[in-house]
Amino acid sequence: MSPRGFSLVELLVAVVITLLVIAGALVVAASARSTFMVEPAAFDTARRLREGTDALAGVVRGAGGALSAGDGVGWLGSSVPVVWPLTTLDETPSATFSALWILRAVAEGGGGRALLPQPGPGAALTLDRANGACPLTAVVCGFDVGDAAVVFDGRGHFDVFEIALVSDALGQIMPSAPLSRAYAAGSWIVEARADRFGLVRQTDGSHTLTRVTWAGAREPLVDGIVELDIGVWGRREPPLLRDAADGAGLATYGLHPPAADAVDDDGYWLEGEHCMAARSGGAPVTRLADRPDEDAGLARLTPVDLADGPWCPREGWPGAFDADLFRIRRIDLRLRVEVRAAMFRGPVGRLFARAGTAADARQWVSDRSLSVSVALNR
């Protein structure tokens, strides 16, 4: 530098140095900005994965509700399938299980038994208030208008319905629509929730884990789901059956066999039989077959296994179900979640189920997966 100031060369050197410093700062700032944006996106992806897995595992674990012995709820899991794997929720049916129907008794909800035969499928159900399953409440057996309930008879018949009218004076509840049949005296009625869980496709091509209530209302739970795999495992061995001294049969799982002289109200099964129990030499024998042992006494169940019978309460009945549903003991769940913004997704491949717009791998937030096995509480 001379007394007259900087020379041209010195100015050029200073400018170059300044530009290099600025460029370095911009690179550092861009890297910091990228990190600042990527980390929250990755955290959000992990959070949604955890929430989705916890939600599904929780409802499977709670299927059936409080299955205590000695009251109406105690028979729910042995008389009605409380976990029903589905191959579709509201889209094209798949070859694998992609949704679940879950039935559970409402904690501290209404419950009781039918005192009288129901006059007809659309008639009121009269409850036995003297029975211990009927709680002492201000309304009949704890039921109120608008409640959802399930009625079942222990022979494979069941209906989920909404209560349209409650008469405390008569001890009656009225279904909002006719049931599939008129239920006999002694049938159980339990306040319950019946929900379906699966993926619903959104307009942008993504999927949302959704709860669909029995009434048809949809409750979004977790968005950004790209895969939901459901594995179903059931007991390998069929149930062991025997007659009890009081005439009521016993089973290690599923429907208990009717008494040997019990007559089927539908006139379909022989005396002492139903969809899961036949008679041989007067003794009850199961209609279910052995399954291959694949995992510690459990057999994998496929959609075909749950659609080939034997059918309860009988084939062709409205809402008939495969008796193998009573085998189910474990549900394996695998959830895969993607980052919300396409700017953090790269090309389709091992890391991404759906392509995004991120060209720089440093901005990628890959899909995350989590698997969990849930044993049923029964």
Over residues 291-301, the pLDDT tens digits come to: 887 878 899 99
CA 318 – CA 63 distance, rounded (Å): 23
Q: Which residues are 333's β-sheet partners? A: 230, 372
At residue 247, does pLDDT exceed 80?
A: no
Which residues have a Cβ under 8 Å from the Cβ of 157 and sit 6 or more positions away?
180, 181, 183, 313, 317
| pLDDT averaged over every residue in the chain | 87
* Residue percentage of the chain with pLDDT more than 70: 86
| Separation of alpha carbons 247 and 345, rounded Å | 65
Q: What is residue 52's predicted lDDT score, i.e. its pLDDT?
A: 96
One-letter amino acid identity for 100?
L
Please state the rounded mean pLDDT for residues 104-128. Answer: 93
Task: Tell me how far apart the alpha carbons of residues 71 and 356 are, in angstroms, rounded to a whole number.
Answer: 55
CA distances from 187 to 293, 348, 371 (A): 36, 55, 39
Query: What confidence score (pLDDT) does residue 5 get?
Result: 57
- Is residue 124 within 8 Å of 133, Cβ to Cβ? no
Q: Which residues contact 217 (CB under 8 A, 6 or more apart)?
A: none
Q: Cα separation of 143 and 125, whole Å? A: 12
Please give the Cα distance from 160 to 217 (Å, whole number).
16
Which helix (H) or strand (E) element contains residue 17?
helix 8-61
pLDDT over 60 (residue 215): yes
Say which range, 66-75, 93-102, 185-194, has the weakest mean pLDDT.
Answer: 66-75
Return the amino acid letter for 113. Answer: R
Cα separation of 229 and 3, whole Å?
A: 79
d(CA 33, CA 173): 63
In one-letter notation, the amino acid at residue 263 is V
- Alpha helical stretches, state H, 62-188: 76-79
Predicted local confidence at residue 245, as pLDDT: 76
Measured from the Cβ of residue 247, the count of other Cβ atoms closer than 10 Å reads 12
Q: How far is CA 351 from the centre of its chain?
A: 28
pLDDT, position 196: 96
Give Cα separations from 276 to 154, 155, 285, 289 (angstroms): 11, 9, 8, 11
Residue 166 confidence (pLDDT) above 80 = yes
Nearest 5°: phi and psi at 33? Answer: -65, -40
Please give the model's pTM, rounded to 2 decimal places.
Answer: 0.86
